[in-house]
Amino acid sequence: MNDSISNPTKPAALQQWVGPTPPDHVLASIERMRRLDGAAHVAVMPDVHLAKGVCVGTVLGTERWVYPSAVGGDIGCGMAAVGLDASADAVDRPAVARAILKAFSRLVPISRHPRPLPIHLNARRKLSLGRLDHELQRTGRAQLGTLGGGNHFLELQRDANDDSLWAMVHSGSRGLGQAISRHHIEVSPHRSHGLPALDAESDLGRAYLRDQHLAQAYARLNRRLMLDAVAWLLREQLDIDVLPGSFVQCDHNHVRRERHHGRWLFVHRKGAAPAVADHVGLIPGSMGTASYHVLGRGHPDALCSSSHGAGRAMSRTEARQRISTGQFKRETRHVHTNPAQHARLREEAPQAYKDIRQVMRVQRELVSAQREVHPILSYKGT
C-alpha cells in the first residue's frame, strides 16, 4: 500500500534561528516540512543543513502523524561527557597522547568489538519484528561500545576557564538504529509530500515509537560504555579518576511526546538537542574548535530545542574536493590526532563546518553557555 495523504490546512508555524539565510534547497526542504500532514510547528536551528528526506538541524511538532525521516537513521545519536580529576596538561604531551590514541583504538573500536559485549537495557523489550531483534542480538552486541565513522568522535578536552580535563563522546545507536529506521520506512503505508508517514495511533506507528525508544536506550548505553573505557584507561595509565557527579548526556535524534503551546505534540528532532529550561546539554564544534556545555532556556517557539553542533558548511564530497591534507593539518595542528588518518579526515576539517561561535551567538535565546572546552586529543574513524 502506498497511499498519499495531504494536509488541507495552512502550513505549520515556522520559527528560525539561522543567521545567514540558508541556501534555496534547504529552504525548499523546510517548506515541505511545514506542509506535512499533521504538522503543527517547525523550528530551524542555526546548524541546519541538507540531508536525505529532512534537513539536519530541524524540529518538527506534529499531531498524530510520525515521520521516521524527521528523526533519521542514527536514532538516539547524541553526546556524553565526564569530568576528570586532573589538569589538561597531564595528557597534552606528544608521547602520552600517542599512547592514549593507540589504546583508544583497542578499547573503543570504530566498527565492531572483537568480543561482543552483553546488552543490559533498563527497559528491555523485544523489538517489533523478529529480524530486528536478531539485529539487536547479532550486530547490536558486536557494535556496542564502538564509535562509528563520519562525524562521531571521542575527545579529551581542556576547560577554557580552569584548564581541567574533560572527555566527550559523540555516537549513537550504530547499525541497530539504521535497521529500525529502514524497516519502518519500508513498511509505512502512507506518504505525505513524498515522506513516509505513520499514524501514531496505529499498530505500525506504535511499533515505531517503541522501537526508536529502545534504540535511544541502546545509544545511551553505548556512549556510557565508551566513557567507562576512557575512565579505566586514564586511571590505569595516568592515575586519573573521574569526578563524581560530572557525567552528562543528551541525544539529538528522536521523537517524543511533549506538551507545547497548550497541546500535546510528537516532537521530532533531527540534529537538534532538547533545551528545556535548566536542562544540561552538550553542543560540539569540530575537530579543531570549541565545544560547549549549556543550559537550556526552554524557548517555547523552538519547542525547547537548540542546535546539536556547528553543522556542516560543506558536503563531504565538497570538502574532499576543496580541502587539502595540508590544510587539514594546519587547522588541527594544536590537536593530537592519528597522522595516518589525515588524508581521509579532510571532510571533518574545521573548515568543512560552520563557525561554532557564530552558531552559539545566533541561539543565545535558546541556551546559555556554561563551559567552553577545547580539543586536546581527537579520536575518529574514517
3 state DSSP class of 56: strand
HSE-up of 208 (CA within 13 Å, CB side)? 33
Which residues, other chains included, contact 361 with Cβ-Cβ below 8 Å and sequence gap of 6+? Answer: none
Question: Are residues 33 and 272 in contact, defined by beta-carbon separation less than 8 angstroms?
Answer: no
Please, what's the b/e burial string for 18-48 (b: 16 or more CB within 10 A of its CB; e: otherwise)? bbeebeeebbebbebbbbbbbbbbbbbbbbb
Return the closest-CA partner of residue 335 out of 73, 155, 184. Answer: 155
Distance (Å, whole) CA 121 – CA 176: 14
Return the closest-CA partner of residue 336 out of 97, 167, 166, 153. Answer: 97
Which residues, other chains included, contact 228 with Cβ-Cβ below 8 Å and sequence gap of 6+? Answer: none
Q: Is residue 342 annotated as a catalytic residue, yes or no?
A: no
Catalytic residue among 184, 308, 336, 374: 308
Locate cell 563531504: which residue?
A: 316
3 state DSSP class of 111: coil
Question: Are residues 294 and 280 in contact, defined by beta-carbon separation less than 8 angstroms?
Answer: yes
Q: Name the grid cell of 241.
A: 579518576
Catalytic residues: 308
